[in-house]
Structure 1
């Protein structure tokens, strides 16, 4: 389980890649991925294509991210498998995030 960050200055885009289990063990690393950036970007993508497991702590971390980043910035959750996407939809995350 790990997190990596890719910044595309030309597109004003930050992509946070999560690999493995997205759970409380990633709390500090996930928060650091977006809060340590030198500026606010227009778009953020949380790449969940390699996430195998997601728990309620991960949902809380996503909400914390949404609250920490300016509302003018969009956050997309991309690549989640059907099971994780279903959890996100049941939790009504589609109201606060663009889920693809």
Structure 2
């Protein structure tokens, strides 16, 4: 009987984890950007996490080949949104950070 009392809460918690998996998700695809204007150096974010702020990018010429929108920001830490870039689109614009979803 004592084992049942100890295992019942564990079983209930396990059932919740299986039924309600974590909410963290990732965009599918690649977001690429040129580091500095006309530098030719391209960086890529593969399957970026939704809701996460990717900062200190110093980006130019963003290309959103993910399946979610990308919001580009003027400053680090995703402050002062400049534009939302739809999936499959690109733009030439200076930005410092990006967030997906």
TM-score, reference length from structure 1:
0.31
Higher helix share: 1
